[in-house]
Amino acid sequence: MKTASIPAPPRRPAARGLAGARRGPHHARVSRAPRFLILETGRPVPSLRRHGDFTHWIRTAADLSRERVEVSRVLDGERPATASRYAGVLVTGSGAMVTDREPWSEWTAGWLGEAAAAGVPVLGICYGHQLLAHALGGRVDWNPRGREMGTVAIELHEDARHDPLFHALPARFHAQATHLQSVTTPPPGAAVLARSALDDCHAFRWGASAWGLQFHPEFSTTHMRGYIAARRDALSGEGLCHRRMMASVRPSPAARRLLHRFVRHAAHRHG
């Protein structure tokens, strides 16, 4: 796929609905030598917050020190600095829904579209995956196959063989997932890299350095089991057995390696 043939992402309002948005004190503390930016779009379920926030989970899984990470809590109205300041941008998951078109989410979509178009390496996870697809002209909606949760089998498409992040992964591997919405139509020009039994677009790449992952490479088995436990009533109402799902949770080292590959890819491009 040639990057030059990819259409530019649709322009979105730069700050509609975010009057008075702010940067938190943590922004100033770590901004002296930032390398990677994490856009925090949500928080873990309450029972798992003792393990830290999504930023901590991603930073730990990616082996990024605190000094190499800057955080912008866009969910709370914080605005990140210009994307070109960073080696790469990672976008967390969230309990929010992209289809709700919340002002903070739409503003972030506009920022992400501009970052991706500028060639800044971007990795969106779960909600971040969906928001990136939305920003680049794709479609996000309720998954017509229903909730996907637990350790799921991911199968790679042919395009993954030549992808900077996916090329060394096995054709089939396991990953942790929990979502109700999906990318139902990938962005124009995107390469779909992976699928599962319940989601045809579990990963995509747009251009040379913008990726979306529906699954959670940062999740440990503790995180996954904690989410299943937190959703047990909803699962029961959908005819799913949370105990059986819990028992099937297994480690997903191949999925986690994608975080390390993204960090290396972004750092190399940044020089």
**Residue of 106, 126, 134, 157 marked catalytic:** 126
**DSSP secondary structure, 165-192, as one string:** TTTTS-SEEEEEEEESEEEEEPPTTPEE
**Residue of 218, 223, 242, 265 marked catalytic:** 218
- What is the rounded distance in angstroms from the CA atom of residue 88 to the CA atom of residue 69? 10
Determine whether 218 is an active site residue: yes
- What is the rounded distance in angstroms from the CA atom of residue 105 to the CA atom of residue 110? 9
Determine whether 126 is an active site residue: yes
Within 10 A of 98 (CB to CB), how many other CB atoms are there?
Answer: 26
- Three-state secondary structure call for residue 40: coil
**Residue of 202, 216, 242, 265 marked catalytic:** 216
Within 10 A of 117 (CB to CB), how many other CB atoms are there?
Answer: 19
Q: Quote the distance between the C-alpha of residue 98 and its chain's center.
A: 12
In this structure, what token pair is assigned to residue 142?
């309720």
Instruction: Supply the residues annotated as catalytic.
Output: 126, 216, 218
